[in-house]
Structure 1
Amino acid sequence: MQRIADIMTRDVTSVAPEETIRRAAELMDDLNIGALPVCNGEELVGMITDRDITVRATAQGMAPDETAIEDVMTSNVTWCYDDQEVDEVMGQMADSQLRRIPVIDHNTRKLIGIVSLGDVATKHSAGVDRTLEDVSSPSRPNTLH
Protein backbone atom coordinates (compact mmCIF):
# COMPACT_ATOMS: atom_id res chain seq x y z
CA MET A 1 0.00 0.00 0.00
CA GLN A 2 1.09 3.55 -0.69
CA ARG A 3 2.13 5.72 2.27
CA ILE A 4 1.48 9.43 2.81
CA ALA A 5 5.24 10.12 2.63
CA ASP A 6 5.10 8.99 -1.01
CA ILE A 7 2.58 11.64 -2.10
CA MET A 8 2.76 14.54 0.38
CA THR A 9 4.18 17.99 -0.29
CA ARG A 10 7.36 18.60 1.69
CA ASP A 11 9.08 21.84 2.72
CA VAL A 12 5.83 23.45 3.80
CA THR A 13 5.85 27.11 4.81
CA SER A 14 4.34 27.76 8.22
CA VAL A 15 3.51 30.81 10.31
CA ALA A 16 3.76 31.57 14.03
CA PRO A 17 0.61 32.12 16.11
CA GLU A 18 1.61 35.67 17.04
CA GLU A 19 2.07 36.81 13.42
CA THR A 20 -0.72 38.89 11.88
CA ILE A 21 -3.43 37.65 9.58
CA ARG A 22 -2.11 40.12 7.00
CA ARG A 23 1.20 38.19 7.00
CA ALA A 24 -0.68 34.90 6.56
CA ALA A 25 -2.71 36.36 3.69
CA GLU A 26 0.42 37.72 2.00
CA LEU A 27 2.12 34.31 2.22
CA MET A 28 -0.96 32.58 0.84
CA ASP A 29 -1.01 35.03 -2.06
CA ASP A 30 2.75 34.66 -2.73
CA LEU A 31 2.60 30.86 -2.59
CA ASN A 32 -0.80 30.54 -4.31
CA ILE A 33 -2.20 28.40 -1.48
CA GLY A 34 -5.27 28.57 0.73
CA ALA A 35 -3.95 27.27 4.05
CA LEU A 36 -0.89 27.45 6.26
CA PRO A 37 0.16 25.34 9.22
CA VAL A 38 0.66 27.38 12.40
CA CYS A 39 3.70 26.31 14.39
CA ASN A 40 5.10 27.34 17.74
CA GLY A 41 8.72 26.52 17.00
CA GLU A 42 8.52 23.08 15.45
CA GLU A 43 5.24 22.14 17.15
CA LEU A 44 2.07 22.21 15.05
CA VAL A 45 -0.51 24.24 17.02
CA GLY A 46 -3.07 25.09 14.36
CA MET A 47 -4.05 25.80 10.78
CA ILE A 48 -5.14 29.06 9.21
CA THR A 49 -7.04 29.19 5.94
CA ASP A 50 -8.09 31.96 3.59
CA ARG A 51 -11.62 31.21 4.77
CA ASP A 52 -10.61 31.74 8.44
CA ILE A 53 -9.25 35.16 7.50
CA THR A 54 -12.35 36.08 5.51
CA VAL A 55 -15.10 34.68 7.74
CA ARG A 56 -13.60 34.76 11.22
CA ALA A 57 -11.69 38.02 10.89
CA THR A 58 -12.66 40.30 8.02
CA ALA A 59 -16.41 39.66 8.31
CA GLN A 60 -16.16 40.39 12.04
CA GLY A 61 -14.37 43.70 11.44
CA MET A 62 -10.96 42.63 12.76
CA ALA A 63 -8.00 44.69 11.52
CA PRO A 64 -5.51 42.64 9.44
CA ASP A 65 -2.45 44.38 10.90
CA GLU A 66 -3.64 44.02 14.49
CA THR A 67 -5.21 40.56 14.55
CA ALA A 68 -2.95 37.67 15.51
CA ILE A 69 -3.24 34.40 13.65
CA GLU A 70 -3.93 32.60 16.93
CA ASP A 71 -7.13 34.66 17.30
CA VAL A 72 -8.75 33.14 14.19
CA MET A 73 -6.88 29.91 13.45
CA THR A 74 -8.27 26.44 13.94
CA SER A 75 -6.43 25.02 16.92
CA ASN A 76 -8.03 21.58 17.01
CA VAL A 77 -6.09 20.29 14.01
CA THR A 78 -6.57 16.92 12.39
CA TRP A 79 -3.22 15.59 11.18
CA CYS A 80 -1.71 12.35 9.99
CA TYR A 81 1.61 10.53 10.20
CA ASP A 82 3.97 10.24 7.26
CA ASP A 83 3.91 6.43 7.48
CA GLN A 84 0.12 6.06 7.40
CA GLU A 85 -1.49 4.45 4.37
CA VAL A 86 -3.02 6.88 1.88
CA ASP A 87 -6.40 5.14 1.97
CA GLU A 88 -6.59 5.53 5.74
CA VAL A 89 -5.81 9.26 5.53
CA MET A 90 -8.35 9.67 2.74
CA GLY A 91 -10.90 8.28 5.19
CA GLN A 92 -9.83 10.85 7.81
CA MET A 93 -10.14 13.63 5.26
CA ALA A 94 -13.60 12.48 4.20
CA ASP A 95 -14.83 12.05 7.79
CA SER A 96 -13.61 15.52 8.80
CA GLN A 97 -14.42 17.17 5.45
CA LEU A 98 -10.82 18.34 4.98
CA ARG A 99 -9.20 19.25 1.68
CA ARG A 100 -5.72 19.23 3.18
CA ILE A 101 -4.11 17.73 6.25
CA PRO A 102 -0.73 18.40 7.92
CA VAL A 103 1.75 15.51 8.04
CA ILE A 104 3.72 14.76 11.21
CA ASP A 105 6.86 12.62 11.38
CA HIS A 106 5.96 9.53 13.41
CA ASN A 107 9.30 9.52 15.24
CA THR A 108 10.02 13.21 15.90
CA ARG A 109 6.38 14.39 16.05
CA LYS A 110 7.37 17.45 13.98
CA LEU A 111 5.58 18.92 10.98
CA ILE A 112 7.22 17.61 7.80
CA GLY A 113 4.62 18.23 5.12
CA ILE A 114 1.04 18.54 4.04
CA VAL A 115 -1.16 16.34 1.89
CA SER A 116 -4.04 17.75 -0.14
CA LEU A 117 -6.80 16.33 -2.27
CA GLY A 118 -4.70 17.49 -5.21
CA ASP A 119 -1.77 15.35 -4.04
CA VAL A 120 -4.09 12.38 -3.65
CA ALA A 121 -5.72 12.96 -7.05
CA THR A 122 -2.46 13.28 -8.97
CA LYS A 123 -0.41 10.64 -7.16
CA HIS A 124 -2.97 8.13 -5.86
CA SER A 125 -6.18 7.66 -7.83
CA ALA A 126 -8.00 4.93 -5.88
CA GLY A 127 -11.09 6.26 -4.11
CA VAL A 128 -10.52 9.93 -4.90
CA ASP A 129 -14.03 10.45 -6.27
CA ARG A 130 -15.66 9.21 -3.05
CA THR A 131 -13.33 11.27 -0.84
CA LEU A 132 -13.99 14.40 -2.89
CA GLU A 133 -17.74 13.83 -2.63
CA ASP A 134 -17.52 13.39 1.17
CA VAL A 135 -15.26 16.41 1.65
CA SER A 136 -17.50 18.61 -0.51
CA SER A 137 -20.75 17.85 1.34
CA PRO A 138 -22.21 20.97 3.01
CA SER A 139 -21.49 21.47 6.69
CA ARG A 140 -22.31 24.02 9.40
CA PRO A 141 -20.68 27.47 9.21
CA ASN A 142 -17.47 27.73 11.24
CA THR A 143 -17.51 30.91 13.32
CA LEU A 144 -16.05 31.98 16.64
CA HIS A 145 -19.48 32.75 18.15
Structure 2
Amino acid sequence: MQVSELMTRDVQLIEPTHTIQEAARLMAEVDTGIMPVREGDRLVGMITDRDITVRAVAQGRGPDTAVREVMTGEVKYCYEDDDTNDVARNMADIQVRRLPVLSRDKRLVGIISLGDMAMSDSSERVGAAVTGISQPGGQHSQTGGPRT
Protein backbone atom coordinates (compact mmCIF):
# COMPACT_ATOMS: atom_id res chain seq x y z
CA MET A 1 0.00 0.00 0.00
CA GLN A 2 1.29 3.49 -0.81
CA VAL A 3 1.55 6.30 1.72
CA SER A 4 -0.85 8.43 -0.38
CA GLU A 5 -3.64 5.97 0.38
CA LEU A 6 -3.41 6.50 4.16
CA MET A 7 -1.91 9.94 4.78
CA THR A 8 -3.73 12.98 6.12
CA ARG A 9 -3.86 15.56 3.36
CA ASP A 10 -5.16 18.64 5.15
CA VAL A 11 -2.05 19.93 6.90
CA GLN A 12 -1.76 23.21 8.80
CA LEU A 13 1.63 24.95 8.50
CA ILE A 14 3.31 27.66 10.52
CA GLU A 15 6.17 30.08 9.88
CA PRO A 16 9.39 30.03 11.95
CA THR A 17 8.83 33.68 12.92
CA HIS A 18 5.46 32.95 14.53
CA THR A 19 5.37 32.52 18.30
CA ILE A 20 5.01 29.27 20.17
CA GLN A 21 1.75 30.65 21.56
CA GLU A 22 0.44 30.94 17.98
CA ALA A 23 1.67 27.41 17.27
CA ALA A 24 -0.06 26.04 20.37
CA ARG A 25 -3.28 27.84 19.49
CA LEU A 26 -3.23 26.43 15.94
CA MET A 27 -2.47 22.94 17.25
CA ALA A 28 -5.47 23.19 19.58
CA GLU A 29 -7.72 24.44 16.77
CA VAL A 30 -6.89 21.55 14.43
CA ASP A 31 -6.40 18.98 17.21
CA THR A 32 -2.85 17.96 16.38
CA GLY A 33 0.41 17.68 18.28
CA ILE A 34 2.70 18.49 15.36
CA MET A 35 3.01 21.16 12.68
CA PRO A 36 5.35 21.50 9.74
CA VAL A 37 7.26 24.78 9.69
CA ARG A 38 7.62 26.50 6.34
CA GLU A 39 9.64 29.41 5.12
CA GLY A 40 8.25 30.54 1.80
CA ASP A 41 7.64 27.33 -0.12
CA ARG A 42 10.26 25.28 1.77
CA LEU A 43 9.75 22.89 4.66
CA VAL A 44 12.36 24.02 7.21
CA GLY A 45 11.35 22.22 10.37
CA MET A 46 8.73 20.59 12.55
CA ILE A 47 7.33 21.77 15.87
CA THR A 48 5.50 19.56 18.32
CA ASP A 49 3.52 20.15 21.48
CA ARG A 50 6.42 18.40 23.23
CA ASP A 51 8.91 20.90 21.75
CA ILE A 52 6.81 23.72 23.21
CA THR A 53 6.62 22.01 26.59
CA VAL A 54 10.16 20.67 26.97
CA ARG A 55 12.27 23.01 24.87
CA ALA A 56 10.42 26.19 25.76
CA VAL A 57 8.28 26.15 28.90
CA ALA A 58 10.57 23.86 30.91
CA GLN A 59 13.47 26.20 30.11
CA GLY A 60 11.54 29.27 31.22
CA ARG A 61 10.86 30.68 27.76
CA GLY A 62 7.73 32.75 27.30
CA PRO A 63 4.82 32.52 24.89
CA ASP A 64 6.43 35.08 22.57
CA THR A 65 9.36 32.74 21.82
CA ALA A 66 9.77 32.26 18.08
CA VAL A 67 8.95 28.83 16.68
CA ARG A 68 12.43 28.83 15.10
CA GLU A 69 14.01 28.69 18.59
CA VAL A 70 12.38 25.41 19.64
CA MET A 71 11.50 23.57 16.40
CA THR A 72 13.35 20.54 15.10
CA GLY A 73 15.27 21.74 12.07
CA GLU A 74 16.27 18.37 10.66
CA VAL A 75 13.16 17.15 8.88
CA LYS A 76 12.73 13.44 8.25
CA TYR A 77 10.14 12.70 5.56
CA CYS A 78 8.80 10.14 3.14
CA TYR A 79 7.31 10.30 -0.34
CA GLU A 80 3.67 9.82 -1.21
CA ASP A 81 4.47 6.85 -3.44
CA ASP A 82 6.57 5.04 -0.80
CA ASP A 83 5.36 1.69 0.48
CA THR A 84 3.78 1.94 3.95
CA ASN A 85 5.67 -1.14 5.18
CA ASP A 86 8.98 0.55 4.35
CA VAL A 87 7.83 3.80 5.97
CA ALA A 88 6.71 2.01 9.15
CA ARG A 89 10.13 0.32 9.43
CA ASN A 90 11.83 3.68 8.90
CA MET A 91 9.64 5.33 11.54
CA ALA A 92 10.71 2.62 14.00
CA ASP A 93 14.39 3.08 13.10
CA ILE A 94 14.35 6.86 13.50
CA GLN A 95 11.86 6.75 16.41
CA VAL A 96 9.11 9.07 15.16
CA ARG A 97 5.34 8.65 15.17
CA ARG A 98 4.62 10.99 12.26
CA LEU A 99 6.37 11.98 9.04
CA PRO A 100 5.67 14.74 6.57
CA VAL A 101 4.83 13.37 3.14
CA LEU A 102 6.37 14.98 0.07
CA SER A 103 5.67 14.66 -3.62
CA ARG A 104 8.63 13.71 -5.78
CA ASP A 105 9.10 17.41 -6.59
CA LYS A 106 9.61 17.96 -2.81
CA ARG A 107 6.27 19.70 -2.09
CA LEU A 108 4.46 18.91 1.15
CA VAL A 109 1.31 16.94 0.35
CA GLY A 110 0.39 15.46 3.75
CA ILE A 111 1.44 13.77 6.97
CA ILE A 112 1.46 10.05 7.72
CA SER A 113 1.12 8.87 11.29
CA LEU A 114 1.03 5.56 13.08
CA GLY A 115 -2.63 6.36 13.69
CA ASP A 116 -3.23 6.58 9.95
CA MET A 117 -1.55 3.21 9.51
CA ALA A 118 -3.46 1.69 12.43
CA MET A 119 -6.71 2.52 10.62
CA SER A 120 -5.60 0.23 7.78
CA ASP A 121 -5.55 -3.54 7.92
CA SER A 122 -1.90 -3.98 8.92
CA SER A 123 -1.74 -3.90 12.71
CA GLU A 124 1.46 -5.97 12.59
CA ARG A 125 3.23 -3.13 10.75
CA VAL A 126 2.09 -0.59 13.35
CA GLY A 127 3.02 -2.85 16.27
CA ALA A 128 6.55 -3.28 14.95
CA ALA A 129 6.89 0.47 14.44
CA VAL A 130 5.64 1.26 17.96
CA THR A 131 8.11 -1.24 19.42
CA GLY A 132 11.01 0.47 17.65
CA ILE A 133 9.81 3.98 18.49
CA SER A 134 9.34 3.12 22.15
CA GLN A 135 13.00 2.24 22.71
CA PRO A 136 14.67 4.76 25.06
CA GLY A 137 16.81 7.53 23.57
CA GLY A 138 17.44 8.07 19.90
CA GLN A 139 18.21 11.20 17.96
CA HIS A 140 14.72 12.57 18.52
CA SER A 141 14.72 12.34 22.30
CA GLN A 142 14.84 15.67 24.10
CA THR A 143 18.45 15.01 25.09
CA GLY A 144 19.44 14.10 21.53
CA GLY A 145 20.96 10.74 22.35
CA PRO A 146 20.59 7.43 24.12
CA ARG A 147 19.64 7.43 27.78
CA THR A 148 21.79 5.65 30.30
Which aligned segments of 4 or more residues in structure 1 are displaced greater than 2 angstroms?
none
Q: Contact 2:102 / 2:110 at 8 angstroms: preserved in 1?
A: yes
Quote the offset at 1:128 in angstroms.
Answer: 1.4
Correspondence for 1:68: 66
- SS of the residue 1:101 aligns to: strand
- Separation in 1, partners of 2:59, 2:19: 16
- Residue in 2 aligned with 1:123? 120
Distance in 2, Cα, partners of 1:42 & 1:136:
33
Q: Distance in 1 between matches of 2:76 and 2:121?
A: 21
Provide TM-score, normalisation by structure 2: 0.90
Q: Secondary structure at the match of 2:71?
A: coil
The superposition leaves residues 6-37 of structure 1 with CA deviations (integer Å, 9 ceiling, x where unpaired) of 11000200101110000000011111111000
Aligned to 1:78: 76
Q: Within the alignment, does 1:46 sit opposite 2:49 as a pair?
A: no
Residue identity (%) = 47
Mapped contact 2:103–2:109 kept (Cα < 8 A): yes
1:6 corresponds in structure 2 to 5
Q: Deviations over 1:80-124 (max 9, x none)?
A: 011111111111100011000000111x21111000000011024
Tell me the equivalent position of 1:34.
Answer: 33
Q: Which structure has the higher relative contact order (CA within 8 Å, separation 6+)? A: 1
Moved more, 75-84 or 124-133: 124-133
Q: Which amino acid aligns with 2:15?
A: A
Q: Distance in 2 between matches of 1:136 and 1:37?
A: 23
- Contact 1:7/1:124, CA 8 A, preserved across alignment: no
Query: Separation in 1 of the partners of 2:143 and 2:37?
Result: 19
Q: CA RMSD in A?
A: 1.4
Aligned AA (1:70) = R
Separation in structure 1 between the aligned mates of residue 121 and residue 102 of structure 2, nearest angstrom:
19
Q: Kindly provide the amino acid, as one letter, of the partner of residue 57 in structure 1.
A: A
Change in Cα spacing, 1:99 to 1:127, as seen in structure 2 (3 Å) is: same
The alignment status of 1:19 with 2:18, answered yes or no, reads yes
Per-residue deviation at 1:42? 2.1
